[in-house]
Structure 1
Amino acid sequence: MKLINKNINVITMKYPSSWHKALWREGLVSGNGKIGANVYGGTKRESVLINHSALWTGAECNPLPDISRSLTKTRQAMDNRDFNTANWILTNALTESGYNNERGYPLPLAELNMSFTGFTGFSDYLRAVNMETGEVSSQFREKDVWVKKDLFVSRKDDMILLRIQADKPFLDAVFSLDVPTATDSSDKTYQYVKEHSRTEIDSNIIIYKSLNTNKKPYGAVVKIESADGDIKNIENRINVNCASDILIKIKVFVNVCPDKDKLKFENNSYEYYLNRHIPLHSALYHSAELNLFENNDLSNEELMLNAYSGKSPNELIEKLWRYGRYLFISGSSKDGFPFSMYGLWCGDYKAVWSHNMANENIQMMYWHTNIGNLEELNKALLEYYISRLDSFKECAKKLYGCNGIFIPAGTTPNMPLPCQLVPVIINWTGAAGWLAQHYYKYYSYTGDTEYLHSVVLPFMKAVADFYEDFIVFDENGHIKIYPSVSPENSPLNFIPKDNADMAHPMTSAVNSTMDLAIIKELFTNLIELCVEHNIYGEKLKIWENIVNSIPEYGVNKDGAVREWQNDNFEDRYYHRHLSHIYPVFPGDEITTNDDIVSAFEKAVDLRDISAQTGWSQAHMASIYARLNRGDEAMECLNNLVRSCMQTNFFTLHNDWRRMDLSLEMDSAAPIQLDASMGYVNAVQEMILYSSKKLIKLLPALSDNMQRGKITGWRFEGGIIDMEWNIPKNEFEVELTANKTFNATLELSAFCADNVICNSKNIISKNGKTVEVKLTKGDKLILGNSERFTNVQEI
């Protein structure tokens, strides 16, 4: 028996799951992109929550009524400055028509429960996730006997494997396959599932079946094997006695009745399946690497206690970067559904904010993928939205009377139409435009021209068609977007004085900075692609006119960029969203080389810390990285760890302990794994910035990131490897081009003066900037380490 091997690719915990009535929240997880396993419990009783990405509840999707005439009424009220009335016109028209589609929720599939008898105590308890292999393990000593459990979800064989071992044949265990426990036993979905669930025992096999609320079947099949134990079935359970090795194989089925032939299990070992799985999982996990040269093999609890005392140790920073990627890889696949807020590990029947939310959250979960060399996993996101284009066209036509597409901010797999009937959602038209950035970036990084023409351009063109109809021009010839929402903020002068914490009192304004930035980005990118590929030529003048008619970003009395570019709306700093900073991040329009950047910087600095959430801290960290402010970026990540992270490294929407580093919710502290992926992206932004024309090397290192190494990271023209050691004044970077690429390299100040190059691809150098020209296959190497001592300095 191999005990847990501690290293930088393994996270360990010395304490079991302990969240009262919701142990799954602190579980350790595995997944193959479609099937998820969440392991929680203790030494005597342990459970495995089993989920599948395609298992969602949801009612029938009812047709959307045509309320498009309401747009004219909304604009008339706004022209008369009756904004409070205008705010509700579209939403009220929907509700008054009787429309009331409900969104779905991820449905917990089954729970494997196991209990052990004969244990009298334990010592040396440890649980872990091996991120390299995807295995979840736990181990402890029962007197002089080691007991160990290992589990993974196979990417190769689409099944869950669980092995339980002991030094001696003294394991006495009982296994059952049950309806996942509900926090609220009166929940209607739970009651429905429980009523329709059935369990059958056939020798050493347990078959669990139930019905979704849409009356489609699902379930799981478990086979229990032991080379030396005695296996018996008693009622709806299987007992194993006097065993030293137990192997459990689990298959799941969703939306179909189980085919007995497909559910048969081969007589292969745990190692056999693991060896088939590891190459597929490892290729994704090791597609990019980060080394911060600090590893003391501390447990999660110890690392987080260190963060509470001051700055996060580099070991924690690196492990959180690795773990965020691990969660993403385990919870998504290129041919499945997009990664969701709970990944594949949700144990609630009506999990808060579990839908695909496109006014921040789903985008955040994919920001890291391009530079992190996981761009192929973007396809789940891109296919999810392109496959629902007809529904989004219906939304555009019936809600706004426009061609093209309107994407509701919140959707679920079976609900592409509006399911949140509030103005902050119905009146926000920016979701499709923001998502268009992900389509454009996918092409920029992959160069996949076939996908460009079949998916990317059709999606972007559909977004453009909507804006062409929706945009109006004011008396000065500038575009006017209204209603225009800056998610999910309300102007200060529309906040009720007697209810300052009211969520969304009046969100429908004119020319939010975010809307203007999204429109500018969309049409700029479309024009570039159309010229490059000689397509949509008849639209170029129209699109160029829109871009040229976008007003400049204005600045308020505090010197901050305005959140709404209209005098009727006052800026409000007490809010979590940072929508108006879009031109800096996640957009590429404004960089630190632009004069206006100071106004965006001021706007970020003025955001109230007590109004933030886990994901907004991650978002703010990425913004500070774009502003070359590494210490502030790291402080945001430190705040995230100290306020909105559990010891299993699951991130939360808000703090639940009143530490005053986030907003408070009396009702809950929902899991939101977008912040885990946001953390990954922020760390990457601190080390590397890449756009079509500019690459920044080490733009925002914090004081505690003095030494590091990256391999396999991406820039928009290829692969980048880089190593730095600031105390020793050492730096080296290698860029390998996968296409023709002309760009400006902006070097970190510590190495700019004495950088040396062994490449002929340098056009010029001026201070910190180096102009480069690469063709496919070229390697550009810059540095000041010993290997460059005999190379001519540039």
Structure 2
Amino acid sequence: MKISFIKVVFAVFVIQLLASCNSTKKEAKVQQKNNTSEAPASRWQDALVSGNGEMGIMVHGNPQDEKIIFNHEFLYEYIGTESVKPPDIGDIMSKAKQLIKAEKYAEAKSDILTHAKTRGYQDILWTDPYHPACVLNLNQKFQGEVSNYERSLNYENGEIMIRWNAGDSQYRRTSFVSRSDNVIATQIISNKEKNVTVSFALAHQFDENQSKADKESGIEKNIKMLFPDRWKQLNTPLIEDPESKITSNWLSFRSKYQLIDRGYEVLVYIKNKGGVLTTKGDEIIIEDADEVEVLAKVMPVEPYSKSVIADARKTIESMPPYNILLKKHAEVHGEMFNRVTLNLDKTGFSDGSNEALITGQKQQDVINTYLLEKVFNMGIYGLISSSGKNPPNLMGIWNGSWRPRWSGDFTLDANVNLQISAANLANQKEAIDSYMTLLERIAPDWEVNAKNLFGCRGYVSGTRTSGRHNFHTHFGNWPGNYWTAGAEWLLLPCFEYYQCTGDKAFLLNRLYPMMKKTALFYEDFLDMYDENDKYLIGPSYSPENNAVLPNGERMGAVANATMDIAVIRELLTNLITINNELNLKEEKVTLWKDMLQKLPPYLINDDGALKEWAHPNLGEYYNHRHISHLYPVWPGLEISPEKETLFKAANVAIEKRGRGNGSAHGLAHTALIATRLKKADLVYGNLLFLMKNDYLYNSLVTSHNPGVIYNTDALHSIPSVIMEMLVFSKPGVIEFLPALSEKLSKGSISGVLCRTQAKVENLEWDMDGKTMTAKVSSGKQQSITFQLRKTIISAKVNGKVISPNGDTFPVDFEAGETKTIELTW
């Protein structure tokens, strides 16, 4: 008897699945390379996600009435604000500085804002909001009740699988977004021939459950401000119906923005093996097929009249079948994902679906390592999947609502910095390239910001961007225009990339010129001094907090934010280091050294805490989600245990810091700082808090606050927290287990890059047995000082016993050499 192709495919699928399940049962330490859900998503936030950096999908997983939301990294609704330049008020900055020096902060702020409004600036402007492209609605018909349902996400190939039984039939629907062929692909099969009946239609994706606060999010005010005669029409996104068309087995969808000759197109190709294809209204219907494949693309177009659908059709028609597309994609995506691996001991814990793990964690006061490992992997997976020509925005690349909170944009005073924090350590050079590409795209606007707002040359970043422009216009009573530290914070991950890889071409051709322009701003801006002949930095702002004035009032626009001091010191120090290492003979090195000497010192308050403002008359507001004044601890490398006084003061500062409004990014940021301060209990406590307090959707994507606002900044920074608690590095130094809790007693991690052109190929620890083994490779000839802040009883390098100097010991490497280090304590 001839066996049908579809039966063979399904049989192989079942055999592989059973083998995978048996393997999981036999080996408790196996890495969690997938997550599973026991029910379809009832809201888009719980949908499973896939992406290739450019396009993303969100799959609900309903067997009958399925929704697959399409996203694209460049789909931002134009609302008329992106090209508005900051007001030209640089000429009044000298007066404002004198008011700040006289501690007349409110007067300085009012004066700047008044002049801005007399020169055309109206009020705070929001970025263009990120939005979904559309939703592909699938209606699949079958006989019988649904049983044995499961939906899952495979981290290694990005494939989302929905499977279920109905009657005596088995069904499977899978989807992924190809990195190699840049297409969204879906396959629908059954274990029986002529058993797939399904219809397809495209429609705008709107979130019926979106709150009024989410919909407005400041945008309504901007539209009223900029278009007073048209605001009611413009306040409804995409008021006109899309241009939809069905041609044979093609669905097309075109949508135009209201205020600009820009829009986007979606093209869907339906391929059926066997069965009959018909059309009815806006649907394509497939009946009694053996198998159905769907290929789709989302394409921004500008101008809107120049459609790209014809070219896209040719590209899609020439593509190979689903299984070949998946294999090609899996080779690329899987290699990226497996560059770093985490294995935690799971003894005493139970695995399960996402829902079961999340629910169970709420009842536990210790972290379920199954869940933590899956979230770590989800963070790496999400970073890869949402890094294209842009890095992840607030939502990664996934969104199911129009006009989301904070526009779903790139928020540059903490959030995007956290989104990208794991990229270097996890060896995701593609993510760093996407991040750098964004910065290069928006950097010309930084020069406009510096000139218009401060009358200076060089770079000043804005606080928010949709990725096209970054004019500094997000201020009003909220004094974001006082923040000058952004450019260096944004550039630091790119310098860190050089520290990890030694990529001189990247440094000299892309990064170094931007660093010099950032320093150029400070060469002009720093012209005010205190009574000790040190710079008095003003205007100065510590995102997004307010200092306490002597009269008890709180004010954000003040002087000497500790963050400002830290980023200036870091920037100038790194520029000097580059010149020393590469012998560039930059004539400004002498100037930069002189500027370093003029920076004011950090201050410590009466509580013993590092002050957020290095000014004697400015007090602390501790209960806040941002921790900008601890920048020299993380992401900076300035404050370490060797600087005992500052290190102790930083510890007091983080201990006194409250959670503010409980934002997830604040919890992750605090945990990252705690890794550098060697506070294992705080690191573990914040991870536990995130795991058990409704910050995880059933998709394992994180929320901004418990159960609300879909944001991936915490998700993408959890891997960096875990890597930093296991391996700390700086040029010439690698420290093992700096902030590892005893509660995570055993495990291993591999593939962590270090900021000294070295890689921890593998690190295995046993806190109960007080042993660890590491294999470390070096990309250059160097001596690395290794450290374990414990009393080392024995140490071996490549099997040879060595004698540590206290808790440190040097090891010499040749370029490309790998050595094994064994320690007991």
Aligned counterpart, 2:384:
329
Please identify, of 569-578 and 246-255, the stretch whose mean Cα deviation from structure 2 is larger.
246-255
Provide closer, same or farther for how the CA distance between residues 496 and 480 of structure 1 changes in structure 2, counting only shifts above 3 A.
closer
The alignment status of 1:749 with 2:773, answered yes or no, reads no
- Kindly state the Cα deviation for residue 781 of structure 1 after the two structures are TM-superposed: 1.8
1:517-528 superposed matches below 5 A: 517-528=566-577
Work out the CA distance in 2 between the residues paired with 1:418 and 1:348: 26
Work out the CA distance in 2 between the residues paired with 1:393 and 1:61: 14
- Kindly state the Cα deviation for residue 553 of structure 1 after the two structures are TM-superposed: 1.9
Aligned counterpart, 1:172:
197
> What secondary structure, in the 3-state scheme, does the structure 1 residue paired with 2:171 have?
strand
Match of 2:370 among 315, 335, 339: 315
Residue type of the alignment partner of 1:612: G
- Kindly state the Cα deviation for residue 217 of structure 1 after the two structures are TM-superposed: 3.5
- Kindly state the Cα deviation for residue 635 of structure 1 after the two structures are TM-superposed: 0.8
Aligned counterpart, 2:809:
770
Work out the CA distance in 2 between the residues paired with 1:557 and 1:748: 29
Q: Contact 2:674–2:680 at 8 Å: present in 1 too?
A: yes
> What secondary structure, in the 3-state scheme, does the structure 2 residue paired with 1:460 have?
helix
Work out the CA distance in 1 between the residues paired with 2:746 and 2:201: 50
Work out the CA distance in 1 between the residues paired with 2:85 and 2:726: 48
The alignment status of 1:637 with 2:678, answered yes or no, reads no
Match of 2:268 among 212, 219, 222: 222
Aligned counterpart, 1:487:
543
> What secondary structure, in the 3-state scheme, does the structure 1 residue paired with 2:367 have?
coil
Please identify, of 752-761 and 409-418, the stretch whose mean Cα deviation from structure 2 is larger.
752-761
TM-score (norm: length of structure 1): 0.91
Aligned counterpart, 2:649:
599
Q: Contact 1:110–1:178 at 8 Å: present in 2 too?
A: yes
Provide closer, same or farther for how the CA distance between residues 88 and 427 of structure 1 changes in structure 2, counting only shifts above 3 A.
farther
Work out the CA distance in 1 between the residues paired with 2:199 and 2:472: 46
Aligned counterpart, 1:260:
310
Work out the CA distance in 2 between the residues paired with 1:229 and 1:494: 79
What do residues 566-607 of structure 1 show as CA deviations (whole Å, max 9, x unaligned)? 122111111111111111111111112321211111111111
Residue type of the alignment partner of 2:69: L
Q: Contact 1:746–1:769 at 8 Å: present in 2 too?
A: yes
Residue type of the alignment partner of 1:615: H
Provide closer, same or farther for how the CA distance between residues 605 and 119 of structure 1 changes in structure 2, counting only shifts above 3 A.
farther
> What secondary structure, in the 3-state scheme, does the structure 2 residue paired with 1:628 have?
coil
What do residues 261-293 of structure 1 show as CA deviations (whole Å, max 9, x unaligned)? 431323632111111111110111011111113
Provide closer, same or farther for how the CA distance between residues 190 and 134 of structure 1 changes in structure 2, counting only shifts above 3 A.
farther
Residue type of the alignment partner of 1:367: S
Two-structure CA RMSD over aligned residues (Å): 2.4
Q: Contact 2:548–2:555 at 8 Å: present in 1 too?
A: no
> What secondary structure, in the 3-state scheme, does the structure 1 residue paired with 2:479 have?
helix
What do residues 361-409 of structure 1 show as CA deviations (whole Å, max 9, x unaligned)? 1111111111111134211212222233322111101110111111111
Provide closer, same or farther for how the CA distance between residues 458 and 614 of structure 1 changes in structure 2, counting only shifts above 3 A.
same
Q: Contact 1:761–1:773 at 8 Å: present in 2 too?
A: no
- Kindly state the Cα deviation for residue 305 of structure 1 after the two structures are TM-superposed: 2.2
Provide closer, same or farther for how the CA distance between residues 337 and 91 of structure 1 changes in structure 2, counting only shifts above 3 A.
farther
Aligned counterpart, 2:673:
623
- Kindly state the Cα deviation for residue 714 of structure 1 after the two structures are TM-superposed: 0.9
User: Which stretches in structure 2 are left out of the alignment for 5+ residues?
Assistant: 1-9, 25-31, 217-232
Please identify, of 393-402 and 238-247, the stretch whose mean Cα deviation from structure 2 is larger.
238-247
The alignment status of 1:67 with 2:102, answered yes or no, reads no
Residue type of the alignment partner of 1:195: E
- Kindly state the Cα deviation for residue 81 of structure 1 after the two structures are TM-superposed: 2.3
Residue type of the alignment partner of 2:197: D
Provide closer, same or farther for how the CA distance between residues 377 and 759 of structure 1 changes in structure 2, counting only shifts above 3 A.
farther
Aligned counterpart, 1:390:
444
> What secondary structure, in the 3-state scheme, does the structure 2 residue paired with 1:124 have?
strand
Aligned counterpart, 1:679:
718
Work out the CA distance in 1 between the residues paired with 2:166 and 2:261: 46
Work out the CA distance in 1 between the residues paired with 2:796 and 2:307: 65
Provide closer, same or farther for how the CA distance between residues 610 and 340 of structure 1 changes in structure 2, counting only shifts above 3 A.
closer
Work out the CA distance in 1 between the residues paired with 2:531 and 2:800: 53
Work out the CA distance in 1 between the residues paired with 2:498 and 2:373: 29
Number of corresponding residues:
759
Work out the CA distance in 1 between the residues paired with 2:799 and 2:584: 37
> What secondary structure, in the 3-state scheme, does the structure 2 residue paired with 1:232 have?
strand
Aligned counterpart, 2:498:
443
- Kindly state the Cα deviation for residue 415 of structure 1 after the two structures are TM-superposed: 2.6
Provide closer, same or farther for how the CA distance between residues 457 and 759 of structure 1 changes in structure 2, counting only shifts above 3 A.
farther
Please identify, of 188-197 and 125-134, the stretch whose mean Cα deviation from structure 2 is larger.
188-197
> What secondary structure, in the 3-state scheme, does the structure 1 residue paired with 2:297 have?
strand
The alignment status of 1:410 with 2:464, answered yes or no, reads yes
> What secondary structure, in the 3-state scheme, does the structure 1 residue paired with 2:49 have?
strand
Q: Contact 1:653–1:671 at 8 Å: present in 2 too?
A: yes
> What secondary structure, in the 3-state scheme, does the structure 2 residue paired with 1:526 have?
helix
Q: Contact 2:237–2:402 at 8 Å: present in 1 too?
A: no
> What secondary structure, in the 3-state scheme, does the structure 2 residue paired with 1:367 have?
coil
Residue type of the alignment partner of 2:88: D
Provide closer, same or farther for how the CA distance between residues 233 and 495 of structure 1 changes in structure 2, counting only shifts above 3 A.
farther
Q: Contact 2:372–2:691 at 8 Å: present in 1 too?
A: no
Q: Contact 2:441–2:467 at 8 Å: present in 1 too?
A: no
Aligned counterpart, 2:798:
758
Aligned counterpart, 1:362:
416
What do residues 91-137 of structure 1 show as CA deviations (whole Å, max 9, x unaligned)? 34333322356521223112100113345532222111100110011
Q: Contact 1:293–1:707 at 8 Å: present in 2 too?
A: yes
Aligned counterpart, 2:29:
none
Please identify, of 734-743 and 530-539, the stretch whose mean Cα deviation from structure 2 is larger.
530-539
Provide closer, same or farther for how the CA distance between residues 458 and 346 of structure 1 changes in structure 2, counting only shifts above 3 A.
same
1:86-165 superposed matches below 5 A: 86-99=108-121, 102-165=126-189
- Kindly state the Cα deviation for residue 173 of structure 1 after the two structures are TM-superposed: 1.9
Provide closer, same or farther for how the CA distance between residues 9 and 234 of structure 1 changes in structure 2, counting only shifts above 3 A.
same
The alignment status of 1:195 with 2:234, answered yes or no, reads no
Please identify, of 605-614 and 360-369, the stretch whose mean Cα deviation from structure 2 is larger.
605-614
Match of 2:557 among 490, 496, 508: 508
Q: Contact 2:383–2:431 at 8 Å: present in 1 too?
A: no
Aligned counterpart, 2:257:
212
Work out the CA distance in 1 between the residues paired with 2:771 and 2:475: 56
User: Which stretches in structure 1 are left out of the alignment for 5+ residues?
Assistant: 498-504, 657-668, 786-792
The alignment status of 1:711 with 2:750, answered yes or no, reads yes
Aligned counterpart, 1:554:
603
- Kindly state the Cα deviation for residue 223 of structure 1 after the two structures are TM-superposed: 1.4
> What secondary structure, in the 3-state scheme, does the structure 1 residue paired with 2:57 have?
strand
Q: Contact 1:147–1:165 at 8 Å: present in 2 too?
A: yes
TM-score (norm: length of structure 2): 0.88
Work out the CA distance in 2 between the residues paired with 1:154 and 1:573: 46
Provide closer, same or farther for how the CA distance between residues 261 and 562 of structure 1 changes in structure 2, counting only shifts above 3 A.
closer
Work out the CA distance in 2 between the residues paired with 1:15 and 1:611: 31
1:524-535 superposed matches below 5 A: 524-535=573-584
Q: Contact 2:253–2:266 at 8 Å: present in 1 too?
A: yes
Residue type of the alignment partner of 2:380: R
Aligned counterpart, 2:701:
650
Aligned counterpart, 1:236:
282
Aligned counterpart, 2:621:
572
Please identify, of 83-92 and 543-552, the stretch whose mean Cα deviation from structure 2 is larger.
83-92
- Kindly state the Cα deviation for residue 329 of structure 1 after the two structures are TM-superposed: 0.3
Provide closer, same or farther for how the CA distance between residues 313 and 774 of structure 1 changes in structure 2, counting only shifts above 3 A.
same
Residue type of the alignment partner of 2:700: F
Q: Contact 2:473–2:481 at 8 Å: present in 1 too?
A: no
Work out the CA distance in 1 between the residues paired with 2:113 and 2:425: 39
Residue type of the alignment partner of 1:313: N
1:21-40 superposed matches below 5 A: 23-40=43-60
> What secondary structure, in the 3-state scheme, does the structure 2 residue paired with 1:90 have?
helix
- Kindly state the Cα deviation for residue 152 of structure 1 after the two structures are TM-superposed: 0.4
Aligned counterpart, 2:227:
none
- Kindly state the Cα deviation for residue 496 of structure 1 after the two structures are TM-superposed: 7.6
